[in-house]
């Protein structure tokens, strides 16, 4: 069964502009995938803890040697990775906070990027172990940065996803949301049109 994982990271949870844009995208995707499964992870409601030394050391400890506390830390990370593995489509709702990704999303990344689980090192360099997924990123920003040297967020997200094997990544931007009402309305209309172009029923029927 097609499965989509939506990861929200707006501090406003379902009211965030990035969440709303991701919701639009998921609604269009659902329309062309009847009966598909959609999993929603809201990192504001259900935050992933910061990665600390105890957890990182647990990741590197052989399964047979784990203490009960380490086993719990590994099981939590395993569950996040399993949820992602099940999904053939990933939708990231991506607010821009202080020029970067929300710290909640970074904590999620830190728990799913695990050597031996989602990537491995080889003589030829690292290999991502999560290939074959389609990723949509619904990016909401107060200002405008896409495609310029001041956008440090999208390249980081693309690099991290690629490192884990996710190369088919599509960004939808709603930018300039803090400029004025006209700019915001235009940005949201353009983003909605881009969602339609990427995942609208017409495209999937083609």
Ligand X SMILES: Cc1cc2nc3c(=O)[nH]c(=O)nc-3n(C[C@H](O)[C@H](O)[C@H](O)COP(=O)(O)O)c2cc1C
Query: Which residue's CB is nearer to ligand X, number 5 or number 81?
Result: 5
User: Can you name the residues that pair with 8 across neighbouring β-strands?
Assistant: 42
Report, in Å, the least distance between residue 69 CB and ligand X: 33
Query: Which residue's CB is nearer to ligand X, number 89 or number 153?
Result: 153
Query: Which residue's CB is nearer to ligand X, number 181 or number 206?
Result: 181
d(CA 20, CA 164): 26
Sign of torsion, CA 165 168 172 176? positive
Q: Which of residues 158-187 bind ligand X (CB under 6 A)?
A: 177-178
Per the CB < 8 A criterion, the answer to whether 140 and 21 are in contact is: yes
d(CA 188, CA 68): 48
Examine residue 12 and tell whether it contacts ligand X (CB under 6 A): yes
d(CA 138, CA 155): 14
Report, in Å, the least distance between residue 95 CB and ligand X: 3
Report, in Å, the least distance between residue 90 CB and ligand X: 17
d(CA 1, CA 38): 10
Q: Which of residues 102-161 bind ligand X (CB under 6 A)?
A: 140-143
Q: Which stretch binds ligand X (CB under 6 A): 16-24, 35-43, 68-76, 189-197?
A: 16-24
Q: How many residues bind ligand X, per CB under 6 A?
A: 18
Residue among 4, 7, 18, 28 that touches ligand X (CB under 6 A): 18
Examine residue 99 and tell whether it contacts ligand X (CB under 6 A): yes
Residue among 10, 24, 89, 134 that touches ligand X (CB under 6 A): 10
Report, in Å, the least distance between residue 183 CB and ligand X: 12
Long-range CB contacts (within 8 A, 24+) of 51-60: 51/107, 51/110, 51/111, 55/111, 59/114, 59/115, 60/115
Phi-psi bin for 15: left (phi > 0), alpha (psi -120 to 50), beta? alpha
At 5, list the tokens.
């994982």
Examine residue 95 and tell whether it contacts ligand X (CB under 6 A): yes
Q: Which of residues 30-59 bind ligand X (CB under 6 A)?
A: none
Q: Which residues bind ligand X (CB under 6 A)?
A: 10-12, 16-19, 95-99, 140-143, 177-178
């Amino acid at each position: 069964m097609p499965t989509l994982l939506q990861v929200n990271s707006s501090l406003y949870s379902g009211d965030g502009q990035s969440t709303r844009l991701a919701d639009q995208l998921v609604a269009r995707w659902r329309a062309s995938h009847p009966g598909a499964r959609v999993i929603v992870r809201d990192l504001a409601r259900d935050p992933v803890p910061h990665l600390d030394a105890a957890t990182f050391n647990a990741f590197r400890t052989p399964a047979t040697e784990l203490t009960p506390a380490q086993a719990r830390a590994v099981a939590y990370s395993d569950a996040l990775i399993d949820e992602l593995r099940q999904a053939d489509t990933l939708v990231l709702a991506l607010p821009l906070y202080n020029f970067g990704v929300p710290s909640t999303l970074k904590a999620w990344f830190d728990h799913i990027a695990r050597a031996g689980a989602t990537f491995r090192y080889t003589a030829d360099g690292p290999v991502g172990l999560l290939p074959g997924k389609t990723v949509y990123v619904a990016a909401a920003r107060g200002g405008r940065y896409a495609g310029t040297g001041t956008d440090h967020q999208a390249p980081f997200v693309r690099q991290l996803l690629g490192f884990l094997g996710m190369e088919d990544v599509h960004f939808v931007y709603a930018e300039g949301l803090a400029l004025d009402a006209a700019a915001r309305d235009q940005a949201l209309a353009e983003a909605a049109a881009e969602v339609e172009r990427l995942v609208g029923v017409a495209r999937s029927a083609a």
